[in-house]
Structure 1
């Protein structure tokens, strides 16, 4: 199937051939009929992509600050590589979608195959959308009209926040698509509506909907609105304009009555004048997209609806409202349609965007139409033939997220692995990686890789709650397994993986790459190599992890397992590697009086079989300008300091004082050794018993936090 994407690095808008998504539990698979191009939002993305690097930086000063902080901590070259990788990740375009249901996932009972639905799907021939972002279309509403559902809900949510009453005067600043829909909806609320825009064609269109209009180019709009309201001022102002200027907010405040309300739906400068708001006691609120539930994973992804008596208008119920108004004819959108363009001719719309003269000033709404039959319904796309050699080490990758694209797949390629296939949930990310790194097959069905006899190593880099299940399935399919950490997020899962590994006799390796970095390898050699386990030592590992949003999936115990399971495990393994011993006892203490089930600021104490001790300080509240990782080793009147995997300093070592170089966390070396071992045979890179011990130690750390005590490994 085909999907529109925007390349932020090159500025190109591309129609990409990608595998069709697979229907998932709680979601709906939809064949597309129409999508609406949001000229405002999508033009911004196109213009950003076509801008040069300096212009991109000027538009995102907060990101520039992060770049300089990363340069300080990680160095110039790794930072530049990270920036260019980020820009090289194309964005899917579109969020106003209409189509026909072709499959429903488990748990959905109120939609059926053949239903016409509206959703926030992308510009793609097939989309898979969570149930709460899908609304059934009434028979009286055409596909063209239904394409306005989502963007109409954006305007509706702004109105709900404004809370207008019958007879109030409301000004709408900006009569683009959202502005014209908002103005109509306000009229349906019984309001007197005054619309402001610089485009006379849009003003004329607004007048046809019964809206009073003013052009700021030739009218003093503040004086005019004051006169039109008998000297009182507007009861409310809804801003749907897009501009970097702060002048819009100043005008909105000055045209408002005392205790007036201002709601921002668009994007404008927000350097507010306190005096403007203070004297009138104005209220100001920013509207969040389609309504309550937006960006809440529990609502959108997990399908947990908000109870109607307590949250009357969710984003889905806003979708339904727009569709009802379209069906009754009260909301008119056909006059807004500028053009309907076949998907294959998308450049008729996007070719006008991003230049100094866009050429589409009069455009309001452009629709993309889709063919009746999707050209490629298969869940796989063949990109090129790869002839596998007689040796092992042919790789199938499950998961194509940011870490896979930025780190794992490039490391596998550098390590000389034969990359045979990649599976991703939506098909797009996997296909782009496949094209970039010469991978033969991109699929949305990971079973394709498990059933492929050519694949003998399965690399799993999905969300943490699927690691154990996918590892077990891969082992049962007779594949060797590499799992990006953690191996499991519950004790029961770990037990099942152990059983599957023992039954299969295949290799299981977890992505504990730190031990393969040049600095860690040299530290191990200096400490005595394999003989280091005979001498107890003290190791302190500090990770200045940095904060991530509280609602990020990694914090969810059932999905990510928390950052201790997902990231601090690196340091349990590294200390195990350096000490040459395994953990016997664990105690964890976290910041805060009432720690939750997971934490991201904690100290972990480890006791090892050979008498060594480990301390892991995993903190999320430090400065990003400071180095992210530091390891100290104390042994036999000697000290090693490993700084951010860039340098190693030795004190008390004969003939060694230090080494330094480019940051290297060992990803490529890890895969090089793995592929070599699979092709030539030999012992596992990390003993499976060590991997199990590390996983048990992090699970024991969470248990220690909850129970407030030391936990002995395998202690019931």
Structure 2
């Protein structure tokens, strides 16, 4: 299928050929018929993509500070690699989609194949959208009209926050697409509406709809006009739908208001607010968030958990339905707003010169004649007779920033990259010369030439993919963790013991050059050691999926397992008991500030400090090993200091062991031999991470 994307690095807007998304539980696959181009929002994204690095930095000063902090701790090259990796990830454009339901995922009962629906899907021939972001289109509403559903909901949410009453005077600043829809909805709500815009055509459309619309360029003072219109009282409220960096708009909006008036921001403007403008009349100000309650809430959007109507009357989905109802009963007429209708293949007619476009609403028309496919051939390659042929399931940040660059250096034979949406895998396949991009991971498992499957998906899918891959008779590398609970681990052990392939987990720290140097200095006499491993992991907001115990497993199982394995590597022994203490009062929730005590068979004692409340200016990782009146201190995989040894101090560029790990893995797959990490060690580390959580809940040592 074809999809419009924005290349943030080169600035190009591209019609890309990608696989059709795979159907997920709780989601709807939609065959697109029409999409609406949101010129204001999409113009900003396109212009950002075309901007040079300095211009991009000026637009995102908060990100610049993050980059500078990372340079201080990790060094210049790793930081630049991270920045360029982000810029190499394309942005799918569009969020106003209409089409027919082509398939429904598990748990979706309110939609059936063939239903006409509106959603916030992208500009693509097929889109996969969670059910709470999809609404049925009433009979009598055309696809073109329904394409305004999401744009209309943005305006409607601004109105709901303003809470206008019948007869109030409301000003709409900016009569672009959202502004015109907002003004008409306000009029339908029984309000007297004043609109301001510097575009004569938009002002004319508003006037034709019975809105008092003014072009300030013709000499009208906006504030004085409102005062005159309201007999000196001032407007009851102002909704700003303009896009302008000037601070004048917010100041004028306050001055237009009556005492205790309301101002709601839907657009994007300068916000250097004068206290005097708002103080004297006690004006309230609020920013509207997109389509309504539920936006950016993973429980609502991704997991399909609706808010009870008795407590949240208007969610984003119910706003969608309200707009569609307004289109159906004629209280909202969007047909006069349509400036042009363009075939998808001619998309550049719109995107080629968006900065000078005078269009109000541009409709993309989809004429799909090709049979949709789940696998796209990107690069012509032969893998006949080769060993170590790789298929990758997962095309997220780890694959993009770490896995693929290392596999490229190793000239690995990568035949597939799979992603559920198809876009990220296609982008990566093109960038690294991979043969195929697919949205159906089963293609990898069925392929007879692929003998090594690398899994880099979200944590809750790891065990499932590992088990399926082992049953398919292929070796597995899975980025940590191996499993999220004992039941998953038990099934993996059972399946692995019946297989004759290898299984590896991404515990890369043990392969880092400094770790291997430390191990060599310590020797192999199995003497008990004291180990202190500290990870200054950094804060991650609670709503991020890593904290979800069912999806990410929390940061101890999901991330601290790295350091349990590293301690095991230096101990050269297995963990026999674990005790963990953590900040926080609820042991059933994810914790990211904890100290884990590890007791080993050979008497080694280890402490893993996993903290999220430290300074970003401090080293992210630090390791101390004490043994036989000697001490090793490793700082952030860049420096090693030795005490009691003859030499051994060293400095290097940051290297966390990924290259050595993948080199050993590929060589083992090609040439045979023992797994790069013994399976029983992987199982022991996984059990130790589970025991840490159990220890916190029960308040005692847990034996393994």
Contact 2:393-2:441 at 8 Å conserved across structures: yes
- For structure 1, which segment, 543-552 or 217-226, has the greater mean C-alpha deviation from structure 2 after superposition? 217-226
Contact 2:241-2:267 at 8 Å conserved across structures: yes
Q: Determine the structure 2 residue equivalent to 1:497.
A: 492
Q: Determine the structure 2 residue equivalent to 1:323.
A: 324
Separation (CA, whole Å) in 1 of partners of 2:472 and 2:696:
37
Distance apart, 1:391 and its partner CA: 4.4
Q: Determine the structure 1 residue equivalent to 2:80.
A: 80
- For structure 1, which segment, 385-394 or 396-405, has the greater mean C-alpha deviation from structure 2 after superposition? 385-394
Distance apart, 1:439 and its partner CA: 1.1
664, 670, 682: which one aligns with 1:673: 664
Contact 1:291-1:314 at 8 Å conserved across structures: yes
Deviations 1:512-545 (A, max 9, x none): 00111111110111110xx14x101111111111
**Does 1:135 find its partner at 2:135?**
yes
Q: Determine the structure 2 residue equivalent to 1:652.
A: 644
Q: Determine the structure 2 residue equivalent to 1:197.
A: 197
Contact 2:384-2:449 at 8 Å conserved across structures: no
Q: Determine the structure 2 residue equivalent to 1:464.
A: 459
Q: Determine the structure 1 residue equivalent to 2:4.
A: 4
* Structure 1 unmatched runs, 5+: none
Q: Determine the structure 2 residue equivalent to 1:245.
A: 246
Separation (CA, whole Å) in 2 of partners of 1:344 and 1:594:
54
Distance apart, 1:671 and its partner CA: 0.7
Contact 1:31-1:101 at 8 Å conserved across structures: yes
Q: Determine the structure 1 residue equivalent to 2:519.
A: 524
Contact 2:575-2:598 at 8 Å conserved across structures: yes
Q: Determine the structure 2 residue equivalent to 1:509.
A: 504
- For structure 1, which segment, 203-212 or 465-474, has the greater mean C-alpha deviation from structure 2 after superposition? 203-212
Deviations 1:585-606 (A, max 9, x none): 1111111344442201111111
**Does 1:292 find its partner at 2:293?**
yes
Contact 1:97-1:122 at 8 Å conserved across structures: yes
Deviations 1:416-441 (A, max 9, x none): 32101111000000011111111111
419, 424, 427: which one aligns with 1:429: 424
Helix, strand or coil: the match of 1:280?
coil
Matching of residues 150-299 of structure 1 within 5 Å: 150-217=150-217, 218-299=219-300
* Structure 2 unmatched runs, 5+: none
Deviations 1:443-479 (A, max 9, x none): 1110010010111111000000000011000000001
- For structure 1, which segment, 619-628 or 478-487, has the greater mean C-alpha deviation from structure 2 after superposition? 619-628
**Does 1:710 find its partner at 2:675?**
no
Separation (CA, whole Å) in 2 of partners of 1:203 and 1:391:
67
Deviations 1:473-505 (A, max 9, x none): 000000100000000001100101111111112
Q: Determine the structure 2 residue equivalent to 1:697.
A: 688
Distance apart, 1:219 and its partner CA: 1.6
Q: Determine the structure 2 residue equivalent to 1:419.
A: 414
Separation (CA, whole Å) in 2 of partners of 1:566 and 1:594:
18
Contact 1:415-1:669 at 8 Å conserved across structures: no
Deviations 1:558-580 (A, max 9, x none): 00000111110000000100111
Contact 1:28-1:130 at 8 Å conserved across structures: yes
Separation (CA, whole Å) in 2 of partners of 1:655 and 1:80:
32
- For structure 1, which segment, 412-421 or 566-575, has the greater mean C-alpha deviation from structure 2 after superposition? 412-421
624, 628, 641: which one aligns with 2:633: 641
Q: Determine the structure 1 residue equivalent to 2:566.
A: 574
Deviations 1:104-152 (A, max 9, x none): 1122222111111000000000111111111111111011100000010
Q: CA RMSD in A?
A: 1.0
Contact 1:413-1:419 at 8 Å conserved across structures: no
Matching of residues 113-128 of structure 1 within 5 Å: 113-128=113-128
Q: Determine the structure 1 residue equivalent to 2:616.
A: 624
**Does 1:562 find its partner at 2:557?**
no
Separation (CA, whole Å) in 2 of partners of 1:48 and 1:672:
38
Structure 1 length as normaliser, TM-score? 0.97
Distance apart, 1:352 and its partner CA: 1.0
571, 587, 597: which one aligns with 1:605: 597
**Does 1:57 find its partner at 2:57?**
yes
Separation (CA, whole Å) in 2 of partners of 1:98 and 1:115:
11
Helix, strand or coil: the match of 2:291?
coil
Matching of residues 34-53 of structure 1 within 5 Å: 34-53=34-53
Q: Determine the structure 2 residue equivalent to 1:410.
A: 405
Distance apart, 1:305 and its partner CA: 0.9
Q: Determine the structure 1 residue equivalent to 2:356.
A: 359
Distance apart, 1:322 and its partner CA: 0.4
Contact 1:380-1:443 at 8 Å conserved across structures: yes
Deviations 1:41-61 (A, max 9, x none): 100011111111111101100
Separation (CA, whole Å) in 1 of partners of 2:259 and 2:496:
71
Q: Determine the structure 2 residue equivalent to 1:95.
A: 95
Separation (CA, whole Å) in 1 of partners of 2:122 and 2:11:
18
